[in-house]
Structure 1
Amino acid sequence: MAGFDDITKKAQEFLNDDKVKDALTSEQAEDISDKLLDGVAGAANKVTGGKFEDKIEGARDAADKKVGDE
């Protein structure tokens, strides 16, 4: 598991970089993430026939709060 641990450590270092944090909280990141999250949520709802729409929307909103500026 040393390889996985190395990747995890590198990812954490990358995400903690101030430039990366700024990019992830930018207006541009918000626009891109909204489109991506909407597409994924829409696809998930289509695949599940809308049975889990509330849960999917909740997961989409939780993810949206982590990326962008809104």
Structure 2
Amino acid sequence: MSFEKKAIKEQMALYETAVAALRRYEESKGVLPAAEVERLKAEVEFLFAAAQEHHQESLGAAKHQRH
């Protein structure tokens, strides 16, 4: 199985964005208000889910129906 460089770069960019959000979330604990920490947590969960879904689709998995 071969991967296109463009697809790998896209996946890496998505994961780097998710990891940066995770870092912001972890650093916010005990510093920012609880509502902001929860918002950051939701952002992390969304970004990792999006990165994982993109990765699976690039490997040929069936696309999930989006609403």
If the length of structure 2 is used for normalisation, what is the TM-score? Answer: 0.40
Higher helix share: 1
If the length of structure 1 is used for normalisation, what is the TM-score? Answer: 0.39
